[in-house]
Structure 1
């Protein structure tokens, strides 16, 4: 799973979703999806623009974390990668 640190970065720069979208010239829904960890596909150009506005690298914005096993899944392969 990919986790976004956008909320923390926006807070540090005192930016709201609409302001960041305008400054980065990306769709507001893209920024909103990233803040909620709901983005499934994001254009690399959009990520680059967001990082440029925030003065950060891609690794500061996004982090890969292991998926958590489901509570009700008792199969032997649950959570296996």
Structure 2
């Protein structure tokens, strides 16, 4: 899973989503998806422009975290009798 740190970065720079979208010349829906960790595809040039506006690197903006295993992913174990 990819986790976005965009909300924290925007707070540090006192930016609202609409203002960041305007400054970075990206669609407001792209910023919204990143702030909610719901983005599935983001254009690399959009990420580059966001990072430029925020003065950060891609690693500051996005982080890869392991998915938490779902309860149904683990098969039942055999019980000793």
Separation of aligned partners in 2, 1:61 and 1:22: 18
* 1:43 paired residue number: 43
Separation of aligned partners in 2, 1:68 and 1:30: 25
TM-score under structure 1 length normalisation: 0.89
Return closer, same or farther for 1:72/1:62 CA change in 2, 3 Å cut-off: same
* Paired positions, count: 81
Separation of aligned partners in 1, 2:42 and 2:3: 13
Return closer, same or farther for 1:80/1:14 CA change in 2, 3 Å cut-off: farther
Return closer, same or farther for 1:34/1:78 CA change in 2, 3 Å cut-off: farther
Q: Encode CA deviations 1:42-64: one digit per residue, 9 max, x unaligned.
A: 00000000000000000000000
Alpha-carbon shift at residue 80 of structure 1 (Å): 24
Separation of aligned partners in 1, 2:72 and 2:55: 42
Q: How big is the alpha-carbon RMSD for the aligned residues of Structure 1 and Structure 2?
A: 5.3
Separation of aligned partners in 2, 1:62 and 1:5: 6
Return closer, same or farther for 1:8/1:80 CA change in 2, 3 Å cut-off: farther
